[in-house]
Amino acid sequence: MQQRIKDILQQGQVGDRVTVKGWVRTKRELKECTFVNVNDGSTLAGLQVVIPNTVAAATPAIKDLTTGAAAEFSGELVPSPGKNQAIELHAQQIHLWGGADPETYPLQKKRHSFEFLRTIGHLRPRTNTLGAVMRVRNACAMAIHQFFQERGFLWVHTPIITASDCEGAGELFTVTTLDLAQPPKTPEGQIDFSQDFFGRRAYLTVSGQLEAEIMATAFTNVYTFGPTFRAENSNTSRHLAEFWMVEPEMAFCDLMGDMELAEAFLQFVFRYVLDHCPEEMAFFQERIDKSVMATAEQMASQPFARLSYTEAIQVLEKSGRAFEFPVAWGLDLQSEHERYLAEEYCQRPVIVYDYPAAIKAFYMRLNDDGKTVAAMDVLAPKIGEIIGGSQREERFDVLQQRIVSQGLDPAPYWWYLDLRRYGSVPHAGFGLGFERLVQFMTGMDNIRDVIPFPRTPGNAEF
């Protein structure tokens, strides 16, 4: 079997015979030999291949080993005189799988802007930065599963096509099977979308929470990890129309337990990535953000700050800052407020809890003050909200009343209300924006650069 370059770099011994396959990053022709750096995506550094002139002379394809070409090299590992690696591959056999015309191949050896790379989304995974991001993303996913699996949580698969609006915010993409050339019409002459999904309305899910609650009231502790969708026209560096969310849901759990889990969870994921991706984290530290390592270390080891929403408003009011958006009890926190709290006031992640009921979703449990709900958001420096969660309203009458008072139609929530009729228990959960986590972990500025195929308003090409 083909050997991964990462494994060869870590475990290869001088004298080992190896075959590697990958894409050429650079080629340097010297008098007595040619140096090629080849990378298969398993590592940042790539493997240095030395092609002696005798081998080059017997390999006509060598001229096509240009940046971007796919090739295979067999030979023996030798000590490397270079300072960047201990070993290199002395090639004896070379096979060119597919060339890459240097006149047109867009990824030449220079730094390209992230904006430019987004226009060549089919090739950008071959860059150092996207490569490092994707490996960290993969490690985060593994850490998440390990964290929950070790604690006995069941991974449940919630649907992407759904009839309910979990957040009640109307940010839903409609799923349609209608022939829009000849759509059915309402008596008023409008397109009749009620027939959307083979005869009923359906949407892309904004969150798996409601279904996760079904599963938590059968399996106690569960989590989801899958794509979610928001039809909001937000062109910011932290919003996507399609993003991945991790949503644990726990029966017999209150807001305090929810906050404790969120903190332990993030600490675990940061520690895991520090342990498993040292090469990538060092790269981000050097190239992207000088503080990523310190931030990750802090996330992995220190407790988060906690502030009630009411305290947070007082802090903001006393800050003396001229914020762009107004600050007053009852108004939602904007990104600038969230960042002030985390970055400047607390100088670490902060959990803000007990938000006003009027600005939060219908399912959050009403507190005894009748004004606030048992909600919590984890706010991270530079990003703002990374996790949003709550204790859920488990009392049938209160829930029904909340649905109605938020102007929602209770009918589609009949089964959700049923869960409060049969074996209802206090339960709680949260949603982590997976891309915001990866953004925070890597220090990348733009959320579009931490997902392989970003979906933002007007962008769906690749």
Footprint of Mg ion (CB under 5 A): 388
Return the one option of ligand 4AD, Mg ion, none that residue 207 interacts with (CB less than 5 to 8 A, by type).
ligand 4AD
Choose between 37 and 209: whose C-beta lies nearer to ligand 4AD.
209
Q: Is residue 427 a contact point for ligand 4AD (CB under 6 A)?
A: no
Choose between 65 and 374: whose C-beta lies nearer to Mg ion.
374
**Chain mean position to CA 293:** 18
Sign of CA dihedral 258, 392, 390, 373: negative
Can you tell me which of 22, 431, 443, 454 binds ligand 4AD, judged by CB under 6 A? 431
Q: Under a CB-based contact definition with an 8 Å cutoff, are residues 251 and 425 in contact?
A: yes
- Tokens standing for residue 448: 């579009």
Return the one option of ligand 4AD, Mg ion, none that residue 36 interacts with (CB less than 5 to 8 A, by type).
none
Q: Is residue 389 a contact point for ligand 4AD (CB under 6 A)?
A: yes
Cα–Cα distance for residue pair 226/18, rounded to 1 Å? 38
Burial 392-412 (b: 16+ CB within 10 A, else e): bbbeeeebbebbeeeebeeee
Choose between 68 and 431: whose C-beta lies nearer to ligand 4AD.
431
Can you tell me which of 94, 133, 136, 245 binds ligand 4AD, judged by CB under 6 A? 245
CB of 388 to Mg ion, least distance (A): 3
CB of 324 to Mg ion, least distance (A): 20
Cα–Cα distance for residue pair 402/446, rounded to 1 Å? 36
Can you tell me which of 40, 88, 211, 247 binds ligand 4AD, judged by CB under 6 A? 247
Choose between 139 and 350: whose C-beta lies nearer to Mg ion.
350
Q: Under a CB-based contact definition with an 8 Å cutoff, are residues 205 and 161 in contact?
A: yes
> Smallest Cα–Cα separation from 49: which of 106, 9, 102?
9
Q: Is 38 helix (H, G, I), strand (E, B) or coil?
A: strand
Which amino acid appears at position 30 of this protein? L
Q: Under a CB-based contact definition with an 8 Å cutoff, are residues 66 and 99 in contact?
A: yes
> Smallest Cα–Cα separation from 307: which of 348, 249, 365, 254?
348
CB of 292 to ligand 4AD, least distance (A): 19
Stretch that binds ligand 4AD, among 31-39, 299-307, 328-336, 428-436 (CB under 6 A): 428-436
Return the one option of Mg ion, ligand 4AD, none that residue 247 interacts with (CB less than 5 to 8 A, by type).
ligand 4AD
Q: Under a CB-based contact definition with an 8 Å cutoff, are residues 231 and 173 in contact?
A: yes
Choose between 349 and 388: whose C-beta lies nearer to Mg ion.
388
Q: Is residue 243 a contact point for ligand 4AD (CB under 6 A)?
A: yes
Choose between 20 and 361: whose C-beta lies nearer to ligand 4AD.
361
HSE-CB at 216 with a 13 A cutoff on CA atoms is 30
Interface residue list for ligand 4AD (CB under 6 A): 166-167, 207, 209, 230, 239-240, 243, 245, 247, 385-390, 429-431, 433, 435-436
